[in-house]
C-alpha cells in the first residue's frame, strides 16, 4: 500500500500531499532522502531505502526541472509496488498543467490523484496477468522441448545398439577398412599400427615412397641432437646447439667478524653521534619549523575565463560543421525549447572522461553524470548559451555542494568545548597500511601546539614492529608526552588508559595512533571497532592516500560497513572525517578527494602535502573543483 505522496518545490515549499492516504510516517524518511540523496547528487539512483527499527520504507522520486518541482512517493519496502513509477509520471504530467507559481493550495488535485491511482493499479494488474500467461507458455514450451529431446535421445540409442549388434567388435583391421571406405582413402593418410596408406598404397619400414619418412628415426636424431642430416627420406634435421649459460659475477661475502675493516664499520654504524649508549630518552631540542600551513590562506589564481573561451571556440567549430550559419545563430539567440537526454549525452560523456582522467572512481563519475542529467532534463536552454557550458555549470555546482562540509569542522572550537567539560578531546586515526598515519598524526600535533593546546600521543599500534618507536621519535622531537604499553597488548585498553592519564595530567587532546589494516582483515577490523566502542572518541579520522582511484570507494565503504557490522552498539560510530595524504605527489589527479567524500559523506578535514611538520593544510574546495573541470 502507498504510504504517502508529496509534491514540493526545490525551495522546500510543500504544495500538495495526499490526504486520502493520511498515514503518519515513522521516522523522517523524506528529510533523510533530501539530506543524504538529493543534496548529495545521488538522485540518479532508482530508489532509496529508509530503515528504522520496526519499519522499512522505499522512496521513489521524479523532478520537473523546468518548473522546479519534486514528486516523492513512499511505500512499505516489503510490498514491491509495481505501479509507483507510472503513477509518479502521470502525477507529474497532470500537476504540471495546473501548476501556478503564485498559487499555494491545490485541494482540487485530490480527485485527479484518485483517478490516476486507480488507472496505475489497473495497468499493473494487467501487466502482472500478462506476465503470468507468458511465463506459463514458456514453461509449457520448455517441457515439450525436453520431451522431444528425450525421445530423440532414446531413438539414437536404439540405432546405436542395432549397429553394434551386427557382429563387428571394432578391431583394428575393421576400423582401417571402415575409414578407407568412408572416403579417407583418396589421397589421405590413415595410420594404424605403424602402417600408413598413401593413395591406397602401404608404406612399411622400407619407406619406398620418397614423400614419406620414418618417425622413429626422426625422434632418435632429435634426441641425439646431431647436426644437419639428410636421412633416406630427404628430411633435414637441425641440430639444436645448447648455449652455455653466462656465469654471473659472484657476490662478495660481507665479513661480519672482528677483523672487518674500519671503513665498513663506519658505514654500518647508525648510532646517534651525540650519545653512543643508545638511550631512547635522551634530551632532544624541540622542533620549531614555523607556522603550519593550516593557518595560511591559499590563494587560487583564476584563469578559468580563458579555458571557457577555448571551449566556446571548439563548440562553435563543431556546431558550424553540423549546422548552417543562420540556423545555429537563430538557435543561440532564441534558445532551445527543452533539453532532452540525447542533447546532454555528448557533453556528459566528455565530462565523465575528464573526471576519470583526474583519478575520480569510474562508479562515482558515472553517478555524478546521471544526477546532473536528471537535474537538467526538461529545462529550457537560455539564450546565447550552449549545452556544454550548461552541463559544466551544473556539474561545478554539484561538485561544490558535495565537497563543502555539511557540519562544522572547527577542531579548535571543539577542543575548547571539551576543555570546559573537563575532559580531553580524543581523535582516533584509522586507515590501511602505509598511508602515513603516524607522520600526519605528528603534523596535527604540531598544528595544535601552535595554538597552545596540550597534546598527548597514545601508541595503540601494538601490532606493527617499530610503530611505538616511530611515534616515540615524533613525541621526543615535538616535546609531547606519549603513553605506551609496548606490543601485543589490547589497543582498546591502551587507549582507555591513555585517556585516563590525559585526564589526570591535564592534557587537552589525545591523538590515538592505530595499526594499519586492510579493509578485508576482519580480526583487525573487529579490534578497531572495539577500540571505538569502548572509548567513544570525539573524532574518527580516516587517513587515505590521494594516489588511490577506484580503491578509495572500496576502502571507505568497507571500513564504514565493518565498523557498523562489528560494533555491539545499536548506533555505531562511523568515520567522521578524512585526512588526505601525499597530496603533493599527484599534480592535477585530485579525484580521490571527490571519491572519498562522495562515498562516505565525511568531509576532508586535513590535507598532507609534504615531509615536514608544517606541511598540513585545509582543502580548498574551489581549487579542487577548478582542477577537476580543467
pLDDT at 538: 94
pLDDT for the residue 281: 44
pLDDT of the residue at 224: 53
In the chain (630 residues long), the average pLDDT of successive 10-residue segments reads 87 84 78 81 78 85 88 87 88 90 86 89 82 64 62 53 46 42 41 41 43 58 52 48 59 58 52 41 60 69 46 44 44 59 90 91 90 87 81 91 85 93 94 91 94 94 90 93 92 94 93 90 90 94 86 85 88 91 87 89 90 90 90
Predicted confidence at residue 209, as pLDDT, reads 45
Predicted pLDDT of residue 253: 67
pTM value > 0.75: no
HEC secondary structure over 499-567:
HHHHHHHCCCEEEEECCCCCCCCHHHHHHHHHHHHHHCCCEEEEEEECCCCCHHHHHHHHHHHHHHHCC
CA distances from 602 to 364, 407, 532, 547 (A): 15, 9, 17, 18
- Contact by Cβ (8 Å): 542, 509: no
Rg (CA), the chain: 38
Task: Report in angstroms the alpha-carbon separations of 195 from 206, 213, 215, 216, 516.
Answer: 11, 12, 12, 13, 71
Q: Closest Cα partner for 121 from 77, 72, 75? A: 75
What pLDDT does 256 receive?
57
What integer pLDDT is reported at residue 280 of this predicted model?
Answer: 42
Amino acid at each position: 500500500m502507498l504510504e504517502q505522496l508529496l509534491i514540493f518545490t526545490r525551495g522546500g515549499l510543500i504544495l500538495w500531499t495526499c490526504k486520502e492516504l493520511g498515514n503518519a510516517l515513522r521516522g523522517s524518511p523524506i528529510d533523510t532522502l533530501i539530506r543524504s540523496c538529493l543534496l548529495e547528487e545521488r538522485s540518479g539512483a532508482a530508489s532509496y531505502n529508509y530503515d528504522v527499527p520496526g519499519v522499512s520504507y522505499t522512496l521513489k522520486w521524479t523532478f520537473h526541472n523546468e518548473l522546479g518541482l519534486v514528486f516523492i512517493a513512499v511505500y512499505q519496502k516489503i510490498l514491491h509496488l509495481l505501479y509507483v513509477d507510472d503513477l509518479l509520471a502521470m502525477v507529474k504530467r497532470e500537476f504540471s498543467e495546473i501548476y501556478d507559481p503564485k498559487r499555494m493550495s491545490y485541494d482540487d488535485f485530490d480527485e485527479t490523484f484518485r483517478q490516476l491511482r486507480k488507472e496505475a493499479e489497473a495497468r499493473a494488474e494487467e501487466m502482472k496477468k500478462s506476465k503470468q500467461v507468458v511465463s506459463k507458455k514458456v514453461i509449457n514450451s520448455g517441457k515439450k522441448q525436453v520431451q522431444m529431446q528425450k525421445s530423440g535421445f532414446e531413438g539414437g540409442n536404439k540405432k546405436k545398439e542395432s549397429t553394434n549388434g551386427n557382429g563387428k567388435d571394432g578391431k583394428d583391421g575393421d576400423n582401417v577398412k571402415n575409414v578407407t571406405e568412408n572416403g579417407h582413402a583418396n589421397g589421405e593418410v590413415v595410420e594404424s599400427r605403424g602402417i600408413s596408406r598413401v593413395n591406397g598404397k602401404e608404406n612399411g619400414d622400407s619407406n619406398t615412397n620418397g614423400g614419406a619418412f620414418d618417425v622413429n628415426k626422426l625422434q632418435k636424431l632429435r634426441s641425439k641432437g646431431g647436426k644437419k642430416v639428410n636421412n633416406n627420406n630427404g628430411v633435414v634435421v637441425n641440430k639444436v646447439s645448447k648455449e652455455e649459460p653466462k656465469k654471473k659475477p659472484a657476490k662478495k661475502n660481507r665479513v661480519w667478524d672482528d677483523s672487518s675493516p674500519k671503513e665498513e664499520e663506519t658505514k654500518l654504524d647508525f648510532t646517534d653521534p651525540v650519545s653512543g649508549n643508545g638511550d631512547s630518552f635522551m634530551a632532544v631540542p624541540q622542533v620549531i619549523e614555523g607556522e603550519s600551513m593550516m593557518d595560511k590562506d591559499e590563494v587560487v589564481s583564476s584563469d578559468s575565463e580563458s579555458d571557457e573561451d577555448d571551449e566556446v571556440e571548439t563548440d562553435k567549430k563543431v556546431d558550424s560543421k553540423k549546422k548552417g550559419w543562420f540556423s545555429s545563430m537563430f538557435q543561440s539567440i532564441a534558445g532551445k525549447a527543452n533539453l532532452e537526454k540525447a542533447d546532454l549525452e555528448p557533453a556528459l560523456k566528455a565530462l565523465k572522461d575528464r573526471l576519470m582522467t583526474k583519478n575520480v572512481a569510474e562508479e562515482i563519475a558515472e553517478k555524478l553524470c546521471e544526477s546532473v542529467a536528471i537535474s537538467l532534463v526538461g529545462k529550457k536552454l537560455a539564450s546565447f548559451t550552449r549545452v556544454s557550458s550548461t552541463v559544466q555549470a551544473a556539474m561545478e555546482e554539484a561538485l561544490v555542494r558535495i565537497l563543502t562540509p555539511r557540519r562544522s569542522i572547527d577542531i579548535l572550537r571543539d577542543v575548547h568545548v571539551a576543555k570546559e567539560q573537563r575532559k580531553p578531546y580524543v581523535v582516533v586515526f584509522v586507515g590501511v597500511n602505509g598511508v602515513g598515519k603516524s607522520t600526519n598524526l605528528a603534523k596535527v600535533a604540531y598544528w595544535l601546539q601552535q595554538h597552545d593546546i596540550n597534546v598527548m600521543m597514545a601508541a595503540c599500534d601494538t601490532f606493527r614492529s617499530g610503530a611505538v618507536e616511530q611515534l616515540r621519535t615524533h613525541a621526543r622531537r615535538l616535546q609531547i608526552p606519549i603513553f605506551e604499553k609496548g606490543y601485543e597488548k589490547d589497543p582498546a585498553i591502551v587507549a582507555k588508559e591513555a585517556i585516563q592519564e590525559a585526564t589526570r595530567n591535564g592534557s587537552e587532546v589525545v591523538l590515538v595512533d592505530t595499526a594499519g589494516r586492510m579493509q578485508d582483515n576482519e580480526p583487525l577490523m573487529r579490534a578497531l571497532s572495539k577500540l571505538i566502542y569502548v572509548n567513544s572518541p570525539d573524532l574518527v579520522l580516516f587517513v587515505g592516500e590521494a594516489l588511490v582511484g577506484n580503491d578509495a570507494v572500496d576502502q571507505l565503504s568497507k571500513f564504514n560497513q565493518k565498523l557498523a557490522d562489528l560494533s555491539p552498539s545499536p548506533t555505531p560510530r562511523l568515520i567522521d572525517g578524512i585526512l588526505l595524504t601525499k597530496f603533493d605527489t599527484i599534480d592535477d589527479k585530485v579525484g580521490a578527494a571527490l571519491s572519498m567524500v562522495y562515498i562516505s559523506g565525511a568531509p576532508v578535514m586535513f590535507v598532507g602535502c609534504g615531509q615536514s611538520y608544517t606541511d598540513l593544510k585545509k582543502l580548498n574546495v574551489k581549487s579542487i573543483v577548478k582542477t577537476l573541470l580543467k
